[in-house]
Chain A
Amino acid sequence: MSLLQIKDLSLTIHGTQILKRINLSIEPGQIVAVTGESGSGKSMTALAVMQLLPNGAEVDGALQLDGQNLLNMPEVERCALRGASIGMVFQEPMTALNPVKTIGDQVMETILIHKAMPPAKARARAEEVLARVGLPTSRYPMTRYPHELSGGQRQRVVIAMAIALRPRLLIADEPTTALDVTTQAQILDLLKGLVSEYGMGLLMITHDLAVVADMADQIVVMRYGEVVETGATEHLLRNMQHPYTRMLFEASGHQVDLPASPEPQPLLEVENVVRDYRLPRKRLFDAPGHHRAVDQVSFTLNRGERLGLVGESGCGKSTLTRAILGLEEVQQGRISLDGQPVFTGHKPNLAVRRKMQVVFQDPYGSFNPRHRVARLITEPFHLLDTPPTGSDRQDRIAEMLTAVGLSPDDAGRYVHEFSGGQRQRIAIARALIIQPELILFDEAVSALDVSVRAQILDLLAELCATYDLTYLFISHDLSVVRTITDKVLVMQDGKIVEQGETEQVFTQPQHPYTRTLIDAAPSLPEIGQGAA
C-alpha cells in the first residue's frame, strides 16, 4: 500500500475547476516532484493533501494516507494528522514564521500541540531537530526570533517544525525558490538527507526543472490542473511523451542567439565606486557605524554590449543598480555615461538620466494599475525637453507595442488585463520608448514561467538586433545570464570578484566564489536523447 495515494482528485473553488482527476502516489522514502507552470494546480494539489484549501473549495475523488481517506475525515482528526503525520514546508521563509515568537517556541509548538511528549522532552526534541537541520542551539539559541536569522536559516526552522514529529509524509511547496543558489543546494541536500534518514515520503512542488531532475525519483508534470505526464525520473527524462513536457524542458534550457557586439567604445564607466549605508548607533554617543554595500567597484560597459551582473542576495547588486541610475549618491568614485557624470553636485544629472531606463522584476508592481497602457509606456517622455505629441506620439506607442510583440490596440487597456509575460513586455516597451542608450534589467525574467521566460529572452535577442541595445542584466539565475550576455560581472560582498567574457567565466571560473556559485546551481540534464 502506498504512503500517499491520490485517486481521481478533482477540485473546484467557487465553481472554477482547479484540479481535474489527478492521480499520483508516493511510497515511503520516495521523492515525488510535481512540476508545471503557474496556474497548473501544483500548489493546490499540495494544499489538498494538507486539507488546507481556501474557502469555497469542493473536492472529489480519494486522498489516502496509509489507506485512510483524508477527504471524509472530521476536522479534528485532520488537525491531529497535520504536523504529526504530514509536515509541510512553504515557499517564503521570510514570512512563514510568526515574527513575535522565538524559534524554539515555534518548533516546540508542533510537538506540544499534538501532546506528543511532556514540555521538557519537547524542548529536548526541538533542540535535536534544530541541530539536525543545521541550527545547533550552541550557535543559534532557541530564544532567537525569526528576524534575527537569514532566509536560509529561517527555512531550516520551518523544516525543523515540519519534521519535529517525524511525519511519514513531507510536503515541500517551492522550498528553495526564494533562496540563493548556494543556500538552495544546502536546503535540497538537507531534504534529501531527511528523506533517506527517516524514510519519509517527500512530495515536492517546484517549477525548477533542474531541481526536479536532480532530486526526484518520480516526476509528475501538470498543466491546467491536469497531470499530463508522469514517470520515473530517469525514464521520463529520456522518453518524454507529452509535447508539453518537452516544451518545458526545452524552455528551461533555452538559448538565444545574440547579434555580435560592435567595436568596443565605452558607454558606461564605473570607477572605484563606494556606497556606504549608515548603521544605527550601537550606543547613544558612539559614532554611527557604516555598512559598505558597494566596495571599490570598477567596470566599463561598451556600447552595444550586453553585460551580466550575478551574485547572491545582499551582495550589493541592487545598490549598485540604484547608484548607476542616479537614484542614490555614492560616497566615492565616479559613474559616467557617455563621459557625463550621473550625479552632478548632490543632484542626479537629468541629461544623463534620460539616456537610461530600467525594467524591474515584478511586472505588476511596477505599473500604476489605474493608468492605461498608452500612458504607462509613455511615462519616460517626461524626461524629454520636447516630448512627442499627437500622431507622432501615437506612432511611437504603436511601434513600441508592435516591437515587443503586442498589438497597437493594447494601448487602451489596463495592466490587469494582461498576463505576467505580457506585462513584462509592456515594461520593456516603456523602457525602449525614448530609445535609451542603456537599459538595466533588474531580475527582469525571474518572476516568469519558463516558457514565458524563453519568449522574453527571444524578444530581447530580437530587440538587440533591431535597436542595438546596450544593457546591464542583473540576475541571480546563472543559466539566463549565460545565454543573454556577452560579458559578466560576479559580485560578492560588495566587490566584483571576477569579470570577463561570459562563456569564459562559466567554463573556466577563476575565483573560488564563482566556482561555488556555478557548482551550486542545479543543472538540467541533457534531454531528448532516445526520445521519439
Chain B
Amino acid sequence: MLRYALKRLLSLILSLAVASVVIFVVIEIAPGDPASFMLGVNAQADTLAALRAELGLDVSKAERYFNWVGGMLVGDFGTSYTYRTPVSQMIADRMWVSLPLAIYALTLSTLIAFPAGIYAAARRGKPGDVAVMGATQLGIAVPNFWFAMMLVLVFAINLRWFNAGGFAGWENGLWTGLRSLTLPAIALALPQAAILARVMRSALLDILSEDFMRTARAKGLSHRQALWRHGVRNALIPVLTIIGLQFSFLLAGSIIIEQVFYLPGLGRLVFQAISARDLIVVESVVMLLVFAVIMVNFMVDLAYAAVDPRLRSRT
C-alpha cells in the first residue's frame, strides 16, 4: 500500500513539473507585453523599462520560469499587473469561495446520486428505475444556469429563504456563508448528480451480473443484502473516477454559476485576468487548478486502492 502511494506521489510531482513548463510556455507565446499594456501606447521607453524591471520581466525566460516556480513553492505568486496586489492574496480570497462551493456541490451531488443510482439498479426495468432514469436524463439535458435562475425565482424571490446573489463571507459564521452558497451549490450539483447516478446504476448493474453475486445469494443473502454487502463497494471504482473528474470541474468550471449569483470565485478571477492581460494571475490560477486536479486524482488513486485490494498488491 505504501509503495503504491509513493509511486502515485512520484507521478504527481512529475505531472506538476511538466504542467508548470507547459503553462509557462503557452502563456509566454500569447501576444501582448503586460508592461506596455499597463502603461498604454504613449508610454516613455524608460518608464516602460522601469516597470518591466519592477515586474521581473527584464530577465531571461528561463530565469523568469524558475523565479515563478520558486516563488510559488514558498507561497509567493508575484504581484498582479493590474491591481498591484499580491496574487497569492487574490487567489486565497477567491479560494475561500470556490473551494467550499465545490465541496458543497460535490457532497450534494453524491448524496443525491448514490441512493438514486442504487435504487434504480436494484429495481432495474421497473417503474422506479424508469422514473429515476427519466429524471437523470432531464438533469443532464437542462443547463445548470437555467436551474440557477429557477432556484433564484422560487427560493430567493418568492419564498425569500435565500439571497439571490452575492457572498456573505465566513466572518459572520459558518451558517451565513453556507447559506449564500446553497443555491449555487444546488444548481451545480443537480446535473452532476444526474451523471453520477447513471454511472452508479450502470456500474452496479455490471456487478449484479457477476458470479460472486450469485454466490452471495447461494449463501442465503437476500437480494438486497447481496446488493449492499457485495455490490456497492465493487461498483465504486468507476464512480470514484467520475467524482474525481467532477470535483476538478466544479472548482474551475463554475464561472457561469458564479456570474449568475455574483460570487467572487476563481472562475470570475481568471475571466477578468484574461481580459486585462494580467498574465501572472492567469498563470498562477491555472497552475493552482492543475495542482488541484492532480491532487484530486492522487486522492482518487488512493481511494481506489482502499476500495480494491487487488490494486494494493499489484502496483
* A→B interface (CB under 8 Å): 50, 52, 75-76, 79-84, 87-88, 90, 92, 95-101, 109-110, 113-114, 145, 147-148, 158, 161-162, 280, 283-284
Contact = CB atoms under 8 A, between A and B. Distances in A.
Contact of A98 (B3, B216, B307): B216
A284 B233 contact: no
Contacts of A50: 217-218
B217 A92 contact: no
A98 B214 contact: no
Contact of B219 (A100, A113, A283): A113
Contacts of A81: 220
A110 B230 CA distance: 13
Contacts of A84: 220
Given A52-B218, A90-B218, A114-B220, 4 more contacts: A84-B220, A100-B308, A109-B219, A284-B3
B211 A90 contact: yes
Given A92-B211, A96-B212, A100-B234, A280 B315 contact: yes
B123 interface: no
Contact of B218 (A88, A92, A101, A280): A88
Nearest to A47: B214
Residue of A95, A100, A147, A161 with most partner-chain B CB within 10 A: A100
Contacts of A82: 217-220
B222 interface: yes
Given A99-B308, A100-B234, A147-B309, A161 B214 contact: no
Interface string B289-315: 000000000000000000111100111
B218 A284 contact: no
Given A90-B214, A109-B229, A113-B225, A99 B220 contact: no
Contacts of B30: none
A128 B130 CA distance: 47
Nearest to B225: A113
A83 B219 contact: yes
A48 to B, nearest CB: 13
Contacts, number: 81
A147 B212 contact: no
A79 B220 contact: yes
A148 B212 contact: no
A117 B218 CA distance: 19
Interface in B1-17: 3, 6-7
Contacts of B308: 99-100
Contacts of A52: 214, 217-218
B231 to A, nearest CB: 9
B33 to A, nearest CB: 45
Nearest to A283: B3
B221 interface: yes
Nearest to B308: A100
A95 B212 contact: yes
Interface in B44-69: none
A8 to B, nearest CB: 25
B93 interface: no
B220 A96 contact: no
A75 B224 CA distance: 12
B210 interface: yes
B137 interface: no
B211 A110 contact: no
A79 B215 contact: no
Given A83-B218, A114-B220, A98 B309 contact: no
Nearest to A97: B212
B313 A98 contact: no
Contact of B233 (A79, A80, A100, A113): A100
A309 B6 CA distance: 44
Nearest to A88: B218
B221 A113 contact: yes
Contacts of B212: 95-99
A186 to B, nearest CB: 21
B97 to A, nearest CB: 38
A148 B6 CA distance: 22
B129 to A, nearest CB: 13
B258 to A, nearest CB: 39
Nearest to B306: A100
Contact of A95 (B211, B221, B229, B310): B211
Given A99-B212, A100-B308, A162 B230 contact: no
B58 to A, nearest CB: 42
A79 B6 contact: no
B300 to A, nearest CB: 17
